Structure 1
Amino acid sequence: MRHALIFAAGLGERMRPLTNHTPKPLLPVGGKPLIEWHLEKLAAIDVRYVVINTSHLAEQFPDALGDGSRWGLRIRYAYEGPTPLETGGGMLNALDLLGPEPFLVISGDIWTDADFRTLPAEPAGMGHLLMVDNPAHHPRGDFSLDAKGVLHDGDALPRLTYSGIGMFRRELLHDWRAVVDDAGATETPPRFKLRPLLERAMSLAQLHGSHHRGNWTDVGTPQRLAELDERLSRP
């Protein structure tokens, strides 16, 4: 894999007041900005091009991260305007910067010890999602994973939580207007969630996944940020 997209455009409303002056992916944890953990992991698996989508306090990202050369990366920024475009709109907005090959997507507000090399460089179907055990704040989970590694949106099997990490083909966004009915989809640029496109792919058995049983944290509140910082700061 050569390209990766890091979602970093969110407003971080649940993290206020910490995010009043700092975007959530730039909040320090374990001695460095949260997003830097991702950049180091990407550099270690020979990803060379990273797109970071931005909105809230966007100017702080190039100030903090530069062009990525300190990690051996080339970082490009996809500014979404003052209002974030959601996950689907954000991916669509960044698509021209990601090249024709499948690309790795990472939410900028999570931390994990997952090895990104376990994700298939050429996912079967439209994509491959890394799934994790359901955290306490999301007990119902998102999707089910069967024994063949195919994802389903149902309750016949135990549900897991989407980690915010996955490999995607750009074809996932093909004909997206036929699937998405978000009000923001008519705006310029379009603003919509990725989930309807994932649901379409699942209905066609075109979305696969794997279960990461290691550490993973959705850094969604100041308390979870503090707990993660304490854990990562231990000698």
Structure 2
Amino acid sequence: MPTMKAMILAAGHGTRMRPLTDHTPKPLLPAGGKPLIVWHIEKLSRAGFRDIVINLAWLGWKIPATLGDGSRWNVNLHYSDEQQEGALETAGGIIKALPLLGNEPFLVVNGDVWCDYPCHPFHLAEHDLAHLVLVPNPAHHPQGDFALKQGRISSSDEPRYTFSGIGYYRPELFAGLPQGKHPLAPLLRQAMQNAQVSGEYFDGDWRDIGTPERLAELDRDLSA
């Protein structure tokens, strides 16, 4: 079985993080003494991933200039450049990166979350197009995103949990979509209607690092 590849979504503008992101792409903002994205790379390397794709848009050139080829973490970093188009949203960024991700299922992690979920390679069931990691609803997102029952995810049941930004996908989820801007949620909802999305609940430390205040809090906690 081929080694699973991973993708870190790093193309967002990070407007809620301004002024910190005026001159630094959000994935390079430091917490606990190293850039946010490095925490992801280190974790993926520990979990056995060797090929990691990173998409780039806002100030994107600074990311490969900082991270290089990944050899210092024993991984190969590949870059999917969206600087010409501007960020393509989640599914659009994945579609553009598919030539780098290949034909097998892959892991995608949002670059602007911090989480101690271990991110081990995961075997998708034969007919499933996605497996999502759900977490307790944070104060800023009390309504949640999706429901989870007996390992299956739906968009209509209760109670609802928050999508962590960590998911495993088959390339077939994106089949037939042209290059361009595409959000991920409609594709997931369609797959849920077809009973093709599994999931799990993770109640460890998960944080959406969407504001300077949350970044400062994470930095304090990691530094301690």
Give TM class, smaller chain: over 0.9
The answer to whether the 8 A contact 1:6-1:52 is kept is yes
2:185 to 171, 190, 195: 195
CA distance in 2, matches of 1:6, 1:159: 25
Unmatched runs of 5 consecutive residues or more in structure 2:
none
TM-score (norm 1): 0.91
Which of 62, 65, 82 is 1:63 aligned to? Answer: 65
1:81 to partner: Cα distance:
2.4
Structure 1: 4+ residue segments shifted above 3 A: none
Residue in structure 2 matched with residue 139 of structure 1 by the alignment: 142
Q: Percent identity?
A: 51
Equivalent residue letter for 1:31: G
Question: In the alignment, which residue of structure 1 is the partner of 2:200?
Answer: 210
Q: Is it true that 1:88 corresponds to 2:91 in the alignment? A: yes
Indicate conservation of the 8 Å contact 2:124/2:131, yes or no: no
CA RMSD of superposed structures (Å): 1.2
Q: CA deviation at 1:174?
A: 1.5
Please give the per-residue CA displacement for 1:40-84, whole angstroms capped at 9, x wherever unaligned.
011111111000000000111111100000001000100012410
Local SS of the residue matching 1:76 = strand
**Could you list the runs of 5+ residues in structure 1 that have no partner in the other structure?**
178-188
CA separation in 1, counterparts of 2:100 and 2:125? 20
Cα distance, 1:16 vs. partner?
A: 0.1
TM-score by length of 2: 0.95
Residue of structure 1 equivalent to 2:221: 231
Cα deviation per residue 1:133-161 (whole Å; 9 max; x = unaligned)? 00000000000001x2110111x320000
Partners of 2:192 and 2:202 in 1: how far apart? 20
Q: Is the 8 A contact 1:102 1:169 kept in 2?
A: yes
Map residues 39-78 of structure 1 onto 2, 5 A cutoff.
Answer: 39-78=41-80
Deviation at 1:231, TM superposition (A): 0.6
Q: Is the counterpart of residue 165 in structure 1 residue 155 in structure 2? A: no
Identify the residue that residue 35 of structure 1 maps to in structure 2: 37
In structure 2, the partner of 1:105 is 108
Q: Which residue of 2 aligns with 1:181?
A: none
Residue 183 of structure 1 is matched in structure 2 by: none
Q: Can you list the C-alpha shifts for 1:103-157, whole angstroms capped at 9, x where unaligned?
A: 010000000011112x6233450010010000000000000001x2110111x32
CA contact (8 A) 1:9 1:84 kept: yes
**1:176: Cα distance to partner?**
3.4
Q: Deviations over 1:14-49 (max 9, x none)?
A: 000000000111100011000000000111111110
1:123 and 1:167 in contact (8 A); partners too: no
1:128 correspondence with 2:131: yes
Q: How many residues are paired up?
A: 220
